[in-house]
Chain A
Amino acid sequence: MHEFSVMSQIVDAIMEEAKKREASKIEGVTIELGEFTMLGEEQMRFSFEVLSKGTMMEDATLVFRTTDGEIECECGFRGGMSPSDDAAHGSTLILECPKCGGAAAIVGGRECVIRDIRMVVPDV
């Protein structure tokens, strides 16, 4: 549900960059979503559709990439989380260290980054 407010901040940031460069049209945007964020791509796309209507980014192509989540443990392990042993909850987030069974901490995968914006600007 909070995709709309996050996407409206993204649209504001794109608009700010576009104004700075006197862009007339936004052709594409690449957004990276961390695996451990609670942001869904489908809801993000829908929010963008609503927010961009009638603006210079109306026809922009959105590309989403997932940034892998990463956990780190005192035992020296750094990498992906333990697989869930419950098939029905396949993507369950588990901070139990897959190597030593200790308590790992999240070190990556909480981002929502605008990676690049493709825009039409005056050729000067």
Chain B
Amino acid sequence: MDKVLISQVGFSTMHKVVTVDMEKDILSANRKLADQNQALLDEHGIRAFDFLGAIGSGKTLIIERLIDKLKGDGKRCAAIAGDVAGDDDYRRFSAHGVAAENISTGKECHLDAHMVDHALERLPLDDLDYVFVENVGNLVCPVDFPLGSHKRVVVISVTEGDDMVRKHPAIFAFSDVVVINKVDLADAMEVDPDSLATDARRTNPNAKVVIMNARQGKGIDDLAEALGL
């Protein structure tokens, strides 16, 4: 709701200068749309998860692994792939035989609730149990734009270094699950996954931390449990 009142008046002959008091929260428009997205998902009994994380941290592969696991349990999944350009992730999801939507943001560095709303419109919501949303690879901008999912997962990998949490605290503070991926490469990278986990727990004591090696499928069950699947 925007509150408007005129508080200060200065005069000239034909014109006057006024200060118009506003209370317009620019980011709240996205939050409202996000709430609408969640209401739409709830109406259809769908649980949605969005995946955030750096470029190359393993977001797509982790979602693919979850899709395979859930399909094996007889659940119906869909995925929304957000990228600046191309449809590589969309094609990877489609190859698993699930409904998928592609969002090419063009120049935007993040998905917003409006783009996800349109993608949801194109998905067969009546026939789904779970929707996975993969955001654009970016640890900064998506923080300010919730999408309406039920849980937010942030994925980092040991190949990005041992200071990722301390460098990007906000995205960890605003996520429900933190995945530390590619731990099979920890020795080669000389990065201790435990120190990443400690930083993550301190930044967000509410978050569940999951240690993974998605390539070999390790930790998928822990992630599924953290997501309540």
Contacts and interface: CB of A to CB of B under 8 A. Distances in A.
Interface of A: 1-2, 5-6, 9-10, 13, 17, 21, 24, 27, 36-39, 84, 86, 89, 92-96, 102-106, 110-123
Nearest to B173: A93
A111 B25 contact: yes
Nearest to B110: A2
A2 B203 contact: no
B26 A112 contact: yes
A119 B20 contact: yes
Nearest to B27: A112
A79 B7 CA distance: 31
Given A21-B20, A93-B169, 10 more contacts: A1-B141, A17-B22, A37-B27, A38-B170, A92-B203, A106-B173, A106-B174, A112-B144, A116-B20, A123-B16
A15 to B, nearest CB: 12
Contacts of B1: none
Interface of B: 4, 7, 11-29, 108-110, 138, 140-141, 143-145, 163, 166-167, 169-170, 172-174, 202-206
Interface of B is mostly: mixed
**Secondary structure of the A contact surface, majority rule:** mixed
Nearest to A121: B18
A42 to B, nearest CB: 15
Given A6-B26, A38-B141, A113-B24, A92 B169 contact: yes
Contacts of B19: 116-118
B203 A94 contact: yes
A122 B15 contact: yes
A93 B166 CA distance: 8
A96 B205 contact: yes
A9 B204 CA distance: 31
A117 B22 contact: yes
A99 to B, nearest CB: 13
What are the 3 A-B residue pairs with the smallest beta carbon separation, nearest first? A103-B205, A93-B169, A2-B141
